[in-house]
Amino acid sequence: MAKINVLIFPAGEINAIELHDALSSCVNIQVFGASSVERHGKYVFQNYISNVPMINSPVFIDKFNELLITNKIDVVFPTHDSVADFFAANQDKIHAKIVVADSRTAAICRDKEKTYELFKNYDFCPQVFQEIKKYPIFIKPKQGQGAVGTCLINNVNELPQDLSDYVICEYLPGIEYTVDCLTDLNGKLLFISPRSRQRLMAGVTVSGQNEKLTPEIEKIANIINDNLTFKGLWWFQIKKDICNKWKLLEISTRCAGTMCLTRAKGVNLPLLSVYILMGYENISIINNNYDIKMDRALISRYQINYDYNVVYIDFDDTITWNNGVNLKVMWFLYQCQNLAIRVNLITKHINDIYNTLEKLSISVGLFNEIIKINPDEHKFRYINPDKSIFIDNSYKERVDVSKKLGIPVFDIDSIDVLMDWRM
């Protein structure tokens, strides 16, 4: 069966990484990433395309279509609000299906003033003030994302000089949820899943958990869906007011970076969106019956300017760990096998190394050579330094190899430097 080719653009931000993680391991999907500005994408996407023109370039559509045709792209996920708006307005000019709402919906969702105007007659719409009569109030840019530019105003002295680009709203002191949704091509709302935002970093949820879908939230989701036109995934944010009622903050037609929390419940919204746009029928949703909490921090990926084709690696307390196997090191060993990098095991293991490998269910086939040496011997004497690296938990062994052979040496805490995360 031919794979569905999916392009994520731009491919460097948190929600682009979530799309990659949601789709890259699916057997019938091939994922591509593309960006105009270099960020994190090249560390994540195996199929990565750089130097794409900016969307405001007069040649963008032509160049982008060339990219789509060359790579036989079926579906495109825009990951930034401005890009989503552009694609929504130019869908008929793009040679692929795009996971984005229609141009009217995209324009309304992009502008909070338009959003609140559309829903002003519903009780979940926050109060919007044309003039300020009492404080506190909350101001937010008419067009913006990630809480950038939003501000609680407690008195007149805190107001910016020019409020023309802001929406002035009631202050909402309660808890905040994001609600992930999925709509098919006929406008039917297939799925609603609230999640709390318990800790934020730069406007992104870094701690949260799934929450119960209440009749109040379900009603809000259906009203939004009935008044706008979505294709595939979308989300909205709500916050409780002083009377403990939910009020709408914003709506978005793109993937959210924390949709990973909904995916962790078994509902892969990016994948389901691809299937919807490809015209698959009878899409079923499995929502696992458990509660889940998510917490995350920054992760690091690396690129070193040293090409190697041979790895010399220690065994005790390097491949092994606490009477078991070091899982990250095993990942690296299989990575070497996939990339045709030779792995030579060099060890002073006091027992029969082959028996120990068998007991730990480690295949001898992972190693091109097994070098067993005496405890008083020096490992550097058995290493060919040509395009090689050395991994060992022993500081003394690493110092010897580094000084005698001049090749890079790594403790097990540095395995991340050698990992290729691209898929």
147-181 pLDDT, tens digit each: 566 777 777 666 776 677 778 888 889 999 999 99
User: Cα separations (Å) of 155 from 83, 137, 221, 314, 402?
Assistant: 36, 9, 34, 65, 63
Q: pLDDT tens digits for 381-411?
A: 999 999 999 999 999 999 999 999 999 999 9
Residue 141: is the preceding peptide bond cis (ω within 30°)? Answer: no
- Would you list the domain boundaries of the chain? 1-98, 101-299, 310-418
Q: In this structure, are residues 391 and 312 in contact, taking their beta carbons and an 8 Å threshold?
A: yes
pLDDT mean over 188-201:
93
Chain-wide mean pLDDT for the chain? 93
Distance CA 395, CA 402 (A): 10
Using DSSP bridges, classify how beta strands 369-372 and 293-295 pair: parallel, antiparallel or unpaired.
unpaired
Is residue 132 predicted with pLDDT exceeding 90? no
User: Cα separations (Å) of 335 from 21, 148, 168, 332, 418?
Assistant: 18, 40, 53, 5, 10
Distance CA 30, CA 4 (A): 6
CATH number for the region 101-299 comes to 3.30.470.20
When computed from its CA atoms, the radius of gyration of the chain, rounded to whole angstroms, is 26
Is residue 142 predicted with pLDDT exceeding 90? no
Angle at the Cα of 95 (from 91 to 98), degrees rounded to 5? 50
Residues in the chain: 423
* φ and ψ of 216, to 5 deg: -65, -45
Which pLDDT belongs to residue 404? 97
209: helix, strand or coil: strand
Tokens 């330094």, residue?
385
Which pLDDT belongs to residue 226? 98
Q: pLDDT tens digits for 205-262?
A: 889 999 999 999 999 999 999 999 999 999 999 999 999 999 999 999 999 999 999 9
Which pLDDT belongs to residue 397? 96
pLDDT mean over 260-269:
95
153: helix, strand or coil: strand
pLDDT mean over 66-82:
97
By the 10 Å C-beta count (0-12 exposed, 13-18 middle, 19+ buried), 207 is classed as middle
Worst-scoring range by mean pLDDT, 42-51, 177-186, 266-275, 280-289? 280-289
How many other CB atoms are found less than 10 A from the CB of residue 211?
16
**pLDDT tier at 146, thresholds 50, 70, 90:** low
Domain 1-98 has CATH 3.40.630.10: no
Q: % helix / strand / coil in the chain, to the nearest 5?
A: 30, 25, 45
Domains 101-299 and 310-418 share a fold: no
Domain 310-418 has CATH 3.20.19.10: no
pLDDT mean over 52-75:
98
The amino acid present at 120, given as its one-letter code, is K
pLDDT mean over 100-123:
95
Which of these, 214, 340, 200, lies nearest to 257 by C-alpha position?
Answer: 200
pLDDT mean over 11-19:
94
Give the number of C-alpha atoms closer than 13 A to the C-alpha of residue 273, restricted to the C-beta side.
30
Distance CA 143, CA 356 (A): 62
Tokens of 103: 């141009």
Which pLDDT belongs to residue 164? 73
- Element housing 391 (H / E): strand 388-391
How many other CB atoms are found less than 10 A from the CB of residue 171?
17
Distance CA 208, CA 292 (A): 9
pTM of the full structure: 0.87
